[in-house]
Amino acid sequence: MEPQIRKREPKPLKFRHELKFFINRYQHYLISRKLQHLMQRDEHAGPTGEYHIRSLYFDDMHNTALHEKLGGLRDRYKYRIRIYNVEDRIIHFEKKIKRGDYIAKVKASLTRGMYESIVGGDYGVLNVPEKPFLTELYNEMTHKLLRPKVIVDYVREPYVCHNGNVRITFDKDLRTGLHSTDIFNKRLDPVRAIDEDLMILEVKFDEYIPEYIRAALQLDGLNRQSASKYVICRKFLKFNTWEDY
């Protein structure tokens, strides 16, 4: 008798608040100077207080993730592979889930070999019954034709606070990889996707933001935006590939 494969029970999703704002460099200067005295730097940030993020976003044959975001659907999700500082030490396949104003994330680690297989069209490496999320990805790719769509590239300046489990990030120099899907290409020259003076401020927290952080952010004076990096970078291609949308 063959041994029965025991599937792991998926962890319950933990949803958090997420707020996004477009800000300019002057606003960043004022806010970041305050936060440096109120919050800690993320432990993964380098000597400059920043790190580089590059993500390869996926969508299905109907561009469902793109259309749902553009259509304003409040409950949706999207898939991406994410790396840091263009290194393969950490490679995560992630599913970001949004329900109203709340977000949750499911992720699984990949090896460089698994990544190469996936982008090469060999999805069998994801067919792992004891890992439900990988199996979900395998089904999405084989049945819904989930495929790489665009590279999203930027520099992140992160701050953290244990009170309220608050995480504040400034995402700078947002760029798109255009039609390239090789996130490990060190010669990739991504194109700027938003105005040079703009960046995206993201505020994530569990139940509350401590008042001293809220005061430093001056949230009442900021205009909240949806600010989807995926959509910004996909729409950047519209003049060449609008028929795909």
Decide: 138 and 121 in contact? Cβ < 8 Å. Answer: no
Confidence at residue 241, expressed as pLDDT on a 0 to 100 scale:
45
Residue 92 included in any domain: yes
Count: domains in the chain: 1
Residue 144 included in any domain: yes
Residue carrying structure tokens 């005295």: 37
Confidence at residue 223, expressed as pLDDT on a 0 to 100 scale:
81
Averaged pLDDT, groups of 10, the chain, 245 residues long: 50 88 95 95 90 97 92 92 97 96 95 96 95 97 96 97 94 93 92 93 94 90 86 74 41
Residue 4 included in any domain: no
Residue 62: CATH number of its domain: 3.20.100.30
Confidence at residue 242, expressed as pLDDT on a 0 to 100 scale:
39
Decide: 112 and 91 in contact? Cβ < 8 Å. Answer: yes
Confidence at residue 240, expressed as pLDDT on a 0 to 100 scale:
45
Measured CA to CA, the distance from residue 128 to residue 186 in angstroms comes to 31
**For the stretch 192-230, what's the b/e string if a residue is b when 16 or more beta carbons lie within 10 angstroms of its beta carbon?**
ebbeeebbbbbbbbeeebbeebbebbeeeebeeeebbbb
pTM: 0.90
Which pairing describes strands 87-99 and 147-161: parallel, antiparallel, or unpaired?
unpaired
Residue 2 included in any domain: no
Domain holding 181, by residue range, is 16-244
Confidence at residue 238, expressed as pLDDT on a 0 to 100 scale:
60
Residue 5 included in any domain: no
Report the chain's C-alpha Rg in angstroms.
Answer: 19
Measured CA to CA, the distance from residue 39 to residue 42 in angstroms comes to 9
Residue 10 included in any domain: no
Residue 104 included in any domain: yes
Residue 201 included in any domain: yes
The structure tokens listed for 238 are 């519209």
